[in-house]
Amino acid sequence: MWDADGNRYLDLAGSAAVNFIGHGVPEISSAMADQAAKIEFVHTSQFTTPVAEEYAEELLAFAGENFHGGAVYFTCGGSESIETALKLARQYQVEVGQTFRHQILSREQSYHGSTLGALSVSGNKRRREMYLPMVREFARVGMPYCYRCDFDCTDGCRNCGQQYAAELERAIEASNGQTAAFIFEPVSGATLGAVVPPPGYLQSVAEICRRHGVLLIADEVMTGMGRTGRNFAVEHSNVASDILVTAKGLSSGYAPLGAVIASKRVVDAIAAGSGAFLHGFTYNAHPISLAAGRAVLHHLQAKKLVEAADSSCPGTTAAQFKQALETLRAEEAVGDVRGIGLLWAVEFVSDKASKRPFPVSQNFAGSVGAAALKRGLLVYPMQGSVDGISGDHLLLAPPAIVTPDQIAWSIERLAESIREAK
Ligand SMILES: Cc1ncc(COP(=O)(O)O)c(C=O)c1O
């Protein structure tokens, strides 16, 4: 990208983990223009459109077996989709006669969006602090974070994953049967920085939710649509969620778009009950946004970009990115490098042995971000990885078309930026 002064940037953050297919792909803008020429807008209370019907079928297939017979609800982005999912979970419970279920449990150090409902289930301290008097509080449970494990583990958190899952079960029990759903990011996003759950944890979470009649909502706003090297990140753990939420990479930034993908169980309960989901935004299923999203889906499938984002497969773009990032461990200020696919984070420490973070006031991640920007490299700096306030990290989420030369150039610039910030 070039700015108005002609400065050139390489965007290693994909804006904010949005752009997955790269900028300026001509078939996306053509698809949008073709759609605009046919019909630019109809209200979903009056009409549906071919693009909505066909794209929904394709997305259900992309989401896999678990969503066979399900349905898709299109919105304009992540937060709108999360609000939709929370209300859908509540309506499901009412339809199946569980009218007392209204609580949504979630995790500390999570982020589900900036609207008040989404913020109320988010754990991100910095983003919610000012609005606390306005948000509804439900219980939040801990999240496995192997680099700073609460349980002093020595087995890569295999066992403590079960302790975190047990914490969820205790929270469900403590809600006295009022829990409607549990919402989680299958790989944590910006707040904690690309933390991958330990083996077995999400499977146990899914089993506990099923046993207690609690719906499982996977927030794949950031991790969905190939970002982690699978269509959706839950596939890494073979977990079947009842509701899957996605946005960002769904349209890769070409148009505002989000989607709530509901399983047959949820759809059938509403169809057999009141018959309609009591919810709506004027711009639901906007035809031009859907044309963009559908063209993005076709493009990423034709170019095999999900495969390119698979970091476990030698030789892929993501495997090269992972390998290059690992070299940053040699830097004095780098405590951890973690992630999967094309979603990675680098966590900074002032002392490697004790994992002591930098003082909050130093804003180390911000300084690295500024030093990188000076060099023409865009990254996503965050603070709060240790306890919501202290701790510094960068989120890195390049488009899947990033080349080996660009990766090598970026990591050199990043290493220089880390040294400059020290
Ligand atoms: C996991 C997750 N959920 C929800 C959201 C909110 O999405 P949006 O900013 O499109 O409203 C974000 C945004 O960063 C996110 O990362």
pLDDT score, position 153: 79
Report CA(331)–ligand 1 centroid distance (Å): 31
| DSSP code string of 79-99 | HHHHHHHHHHHHHHHHHTT-T
What residue owns the CA closest to ligand 1's atom 7? 78
> Which residues does a 6 A CB cutoff place in the pocket of ligand 1?
16, 77-79, 82, 111-114, 185, 189-190, 219, 221-222, 247
For the CA of 223, the nearest atom of ligand 1: 1
> For residue 250, what are its two tokens?
């769904």
Question: In this structure, which residue's CA is closest to atom 16 in ligand 1?
Answer: 222
CA-CA-CA-CA torsion sign (75, 79, 85, 91)? negative
From the CA of 134, how far away is ligand 1's center (Å)?
20
Atom of ligand 1 nearest to the CA of 79: 11
Atom of ligand 1 nearest to the CA of 190: 16
Atom number in ligand 1 closest to CA 113: 6
- pLDDT value at residue 384: 96
Task: Give me the pLDDT at residue 156, please.
Answer: 77
CB atoms within 10 A of CB 199: 14
Paired residues of 245 in beta bridges: 219, 260
Between the CA of 231 and the centroid of ligand 1 the distance, in Å, is 18
Q: Which of ligand 1's atoms lies nearest the C-alpha of 248?
A: 10
What's the 190 CA to ligand 1 centre distance in angstroms?
A: 9
Q: Where are the alpha helices (DSSP H) in 24-159?
A: 26-38, 50-63, 78-95, 116-120, 125-128
Ligand 1: which residue has its CA nearest to atom 6?
Answer: 113
Q: Where are the alpha helices (DSSP H) in 175-245?
A: 201-211
16 C-alpha to center of ligand 1: Å? 9
Contacts of 413 (CB under 8 A, 6+ apart): 372, 375, 376, 377
Distance CA 272, CA 208 (A): 26
Question: What is the 399 CA–ligand 1 centroid distance (Å)?
Answer: 17
- Return the residue whose CA atom lies nearest to atom 5 of ligand 1: 113
CA 38 to chain centre: 33
In a mutational test of the pocket of ligand 1, which residue from 221, 260, 380 has the highest number of ligand atoms less than 8 Å from its CB? 221
**Residue of the nearest CA to atom 8 in ligand 1?**
78
Per-residue pLDDT tens digits of the chain, which is 422 residues long: 999 999 999 999 999 999 999 999 999 999 999 999 999 999 999 999 999 999 999 999 999 999 999 999 999 999 999 999 999 999 999 999 999 999 999 999 999 999 999 999 999 999 999 999 999 999 999 999 999 988 877 787 888 999 999 999 999 999 999 999 999 999 999 999 999 999 999 999 999 999 999 999 999 999 999 999 999 999 999 999 999 999 999 999 999 999 999 999 999 999 999 999 999 999 999 999 999 999 999 999 999 999 999 999 999 999 999 999 999 999 999 999 999 999 999 999 999 999 999 999 999 999 999 999 999 999 999 999 999 999 999 999 999 999 999 999 999 999 999 999 98
Calculate how far, in angstroms, residue 189's C-alpha sits from the geometric centre of ligand 1: 9
Residue 32: CB atoms within 10 A of its CB come to 21
Ligand 1 atom 9: the closest Cα is on which residue? 78
- Nearest to 217, CA basis, from 74, 126, 112: 112
Q: How far is the CA of 395 from the centre of ligand 1 (A)?
A: 14
Ligand 1 atom with the smallest distance to the CA of 220 is: 1
